[in-house]
Amino acid sequence: DTAVSQTPKYLVTQMGNDKSIKCEQNLGHDTMYWYKQDSKKFLKIMFSYNNKELIINETVPNRFSPKSPDKAHLNLHINSLELGDSAVYFCASSHLSFEQFFGPGTRLTVL
Amino acid sequence: ELKVEQNPLFLSMQEGKNYTIYCNYSTTSDRLYWYRQDPGKSLESLFVLLSNGAVKQEGRLMASLDTKARLSTLHITAAVHDLSATYFCAVDEGGGSQGNLIFGKGTKLSVKP
């Protein structure tokens, strides 16, 4: 199936830990994104990335960092996790900056 | 800074009725999207509106875009229970050049028999 996939689907961890969420797309898209959806369902873009440019939402703490080993993958690394990081994180991809297709989401719970 | 406002945020409808969800945005953009999200699920793309006056329809849903008024509408015709979900509009912050979508807060639609 062509899609955007994320692993893990659920992630429960302690404060202060470092964790990663993986994202892969097999749609042949050149741009990938990370979004955070909070408990009130509000969606906020964190990063957008193509092979030329990383655009960072300036409100994102530098504990969050995207890493792209290749065009099909954009992983999200989070250092020193805090309670407020608990949310659902969505990866998305698009061709150039057109219609975005979203992954299934990763529910992160920080205890 | 681009702001996107949806209203209403909650909508309870009876089956068979019609209603409209509104999406206003604060700065110029020619690219607007509508997404659907079911509880605990991902976002599903419904409509991509790329120019002033664009109108798209899929089943009981119809979306339109007025870039001069900075307004998009999502019209629901003869609602059915399967349409119950949260609907988001999103506007490209760069006017279409970056793909950084700014989302509205979502409209939670509940269709009751």
Say how far apart CA A9 and CA A5 lie, in whole Å.
9
The pLDDT score that the predictor gives to residue B51 is: 85
Residues 6+ apart with CB under 8 A from A100: A33, A92, A93, A94, B33, B45, B99, B101
The pLDDT score that the predictor gives to residue B62 is: 98
Say how far apart CA B74 and CA B53 lie, in whole Å.
13
> How far does Cα B107 stand from its chain's mean position?
8
Task: Report yes or no: A81 and A11 within 8 Å, Cβ to Cβ.
Answer: no
Looking at the partner chain, which of A41, A94, A104 has a beta carbon nearest the beta carbon of B99?
A: A94
Task: Report yes or no: B80 and B60 within 8 Å, Cβ to Cβ.
Answer: yes
Model confidence pLDDT, tens digit, residues A4-28:
999 999 999 999 999 999 999 999 9
- Average pLDDT across chain B, whole number: 92
Judging contacts by C-beta atoms under 8 Å, the chain A residues touching residue B100 are 33, 45, 48, 55, 57
Q: What percent of chain B has pLDDT above 70? A: 96
The pLDDT score that the predictor gives to residue B95 is: 60
Q: Is the pLDDT of residue B67 over 80?
A: yes
Other beta carbons less than 10 A from residue B105's beta carbon = 17
- The domain spans of chain A are 4-110
Residue contact A45–B101, C-beta within 8 A = yes
Mean pLDDT to the nearest integer, B61-90: 96
| Architecture field, domain A4-110 | Sandwich (2.60)
Model confidence pLDDT, tens digit, residues A32-82:
999 999 999 999 999 888 877 887 787 899 999 999 888 899 999 999 999
The pLDDT score that the predictor gives to residue B23 is: 97
Quickly state the pLDDT bin for A2 (edges 50, 70, 90).
Answer: low
Interface A–B counts its CB contacts (< 8 A) at 58
The pLDDT score that the predictor gives to residue B105 is: 97
Say how far apart CA A99 and CA A16 lie, in whole Å.
36
The dihedral of CA A95, A97, A103, A106: what is its sign?
positive
Q: Is the pLDDT of residue A97 over 80?
A: no
Mean pLDDT to the nearest integer, B77-88: 96
Q: Is the pLDDT of residue B97 over 70?
A: no
Pick the CATH number of B4-112 from 3.30.365.10, 1.20.120.1200, 2.60.40.10, 3.90.1200.10: 2.60.40.10
Q: Is the pLDDT of residue B87 over 70?
A: yes
- The domain spans of chain B are 4-112
